[in-house]
Chain A
Amino acid sequence: MEDNAERVEAFQQEIQSMKLKAGGAEGESRLLVLGILMGVAGLVLAVVGGIQVAADANQYNQRAAMATGTFLGIALLIGGAALFVRYSLARYLRFWLVRLVHESRANTDRIVEAIERQGGGQG
């Protein structure tokens, strides 16, 4: 246990000096939901802005409606779509990677099995 007291101390020092990115618990699913909400809000704003522009003949009012509705809505829609693509794609790619690893392992097992069947295995 004497030796390990030193190891524990070294471990404690390493952990204290570790540079960590802030963030803590996972924010990925929250950002995905935020992306969806931003997209929906953006779409609604853009449609409402469009209706306001169409319903008002006054150019100044039309510009104001475009600035607060349509343009803001489009910006939210683009931002939301970017978040959605980023975080749904990351998840998809992770599953894809896991699948590749799994297939590679299955292939190796098949090769080992074939070698063993031919009497070449030593396991």
Chain B
Amino acid sequence: MSDTAAPLLELEGVRAAYGTIEVLHGVDLAVAPGEVVALLGPNGGGKTTTIKVICGLLRPTAGKVLLAGRDVTGARAEQLARAGLITIPEGKGVFPNLTVRENLQMATYSGRPLHEIEAMTYERFPRLGERRRQLVGTMSGGEQQMLAMARGLASDPAVLLLDELSMGLAPLVVEELYGIVGQIARSGVSILVVEQFARTVLGFADRAAIMLGGRVRRVGAPSEIEAELSAVYLGG
């Protein structure tokens, strides 16, 4: 990642609302090619809404979303996903009534054949290989999150949006998952990762931003941001 590279993903003064309630009040953020940016902050700060706006699930009421310099505000989520903007949503977003294999089949929309997706997935997540015929709803939370990641990665992302990967998972599982995210980051994929629990993410992020009350309050190096985190979470 280079400091001078033009951002692959950029938000300019983005405002968004649910009905009449505005939750984003002018968000500015940029992610360069190959950069990992951690978006941190307490619950209700607007982090997930920011992700929804970027991936096209929520249309902003004002401002712009730019991808590779092009204004894609209002583009449909499936268009963006096809181009390579992949979201792994909060709450996993897997199909609990389908098996692991059937869930992976959902990723074949990208044109990649199922056997290739399966081979790639089971190499990265051997545990999913053991459970390929199992209904996803009967698997543990960590395994479901692995599947969500595997399905996202099967689409060969250029930009990866990760929303609260650690939600409801044991610390060991979180560590394992973030180990994989670290590998993906090293392969040069641009990643915007949203987290409430910041320490693990700061370990591999290039930059971090603190989001509070629907605005990005501070952007800086992980070491600088880490020092301010307790004040943010405790309101000090």
B138 touches A1 (CB 8 A): no
Residues of B within 8 A of A24 (CB): 64, 71, 73-74
**B137 CB within 8 Å of chain A:** yes
B188 touches A91 (CB 8 A): no
Chain B proximity mask over A43-67: 1 for CB below 8 Å, otherwise 0: 0000000000000000000000000
Contact A1/B134 with A18-B75, A26-B61 known, Cβ cut-off 8 Å = no
Chain B proximity mask over A3-22: 1 for CB below 8 Å, otherwise 0: 11101101110111010110
* Bound CA span A8–B60, Å: 25
Q: How far is the CB of B93 from chain A (nearest CB, A)?
A: 11
Q: How far is the CB of B194 from chain A (nearest CB, A)?
A: 21
Number of interface residues of B (CB under 8 A): 40
Residue in chain B with minimal CB distance to A12: B68
Contact A23/B97 with A7-B156, A29-B17, A122-B138 known, Cβ cut-off 8 Å = no
Contact A8/B138 with A3-B187, A16-B68 known, Cβ cut-off 8 Å = no
A8 touches B158 (CB 8 A): yes
Chain B proximity mask over A102-123: 1 for CB below 8 Å, otherwise 0: 0001001101100110000111
Number of interface residues of A (CB under 8 A): 32
* Bound CA span A1–B158, Å: 12
Residues of B within 8 A of A14 (CB): 82-84
* Bound CA span A116–B139, Å: 11
**B222 CB within 8 Å of chain A:** no
**B100 CB within 8 Å of chain A:** no
Q: How far is the CB of A34 from chain B (nearest CB, A)?
A: 15
A108 touches B34 (CB 8 A): no
B68 touches A25 (CB 8 A): no
**B72 CB within 8 Å of chain A:** yes
Contact A11/B8 with A21-B74, A91-B19, A112-B96 known, Cβ cut-off 8 Å = yes
Given contacts A3-B187, A28-B59, 10 further A-B contacts (CB under 8 A): A7-B189, A11-B67, A12-B69, A15-B70, A16-B70, A25-B63, A26-B60, A105-B96, A112-B96, A123-B140
- A residues in contact (CB < 8 Å) with B: 1, 3-5, 7-8, 10-12, 14-16, 18, 20-21, 23-26, 28-29, 91, 105, 108-109, 111-112, 115-116, 121-123
Closest 6 CB pairs of A and B: A4-B188, A11-B158, A26-B59, A12-B68, A14-B83, A1-B188
